[in-house]
Amino acid sequence: MKSNRISVLHFSNERVRGGAEDHMLTLLRGLNRELFRLQFVCTPELAQLMKQDLPDDVEVFSLRLDKPWLLWSAMELAEIIRKCRVAVLHSHLFYASLFASPVGWMCSVPVVVETPHVR
């Protein structure tokens, strides 16, 4: 059954850890490993801040995609999406969705989820 798991990629372009990041951590810890294969793409700063709390089976990619002119980073995210055969792209916070969702759509990710985490 593990080979048929759904690949879920969580994306954040934040540099600090706050409530949205703790929410992502809750999802990454709590999702059923029999059903899901999990990836986390975030800035190098956030990867460093969260690494001790992330489950060992979550594949982590460090990537900075927080400016529209970072086309190389967008191409790198597209490569990660294709390599991991992502079925669900879940971006957290407005700017993460602004940059990641179009890449997901261009890569034909079947499900693109945007969580704004509003106050």
Report the C-alpha gap between 85 and 82 in whole angstroms.
5
Q: Give me the number of domains the chain comprises.
A: 1
Report the C-alpha gap between 72 and 63 in whole angstroms.
10
Mapping DSSP to helix (H, G, I), strand (E, B) and coil, where does residue 108 land? coil
- What torsion, rounded to 10 degrees, do the Cα atoms 65, 71, 76, 82 define? 110
- Can you give the pLDDT at residue 116? 86
Total-model pTM: 0.89
Mean pLDDT by 10 residues, the chain (119 residues): 84 83 90 96 94 94 88 94 97 89 96 85
Report the C-alpha gap between 33 and 23 in whole angstroms.
18
CATH assignment of the domain containing 59: 3.40.50.2000
- Can you give the pLDDT at residue 2? 52
What is the span of the domain harbouring residue 100?
Answer: 2-115
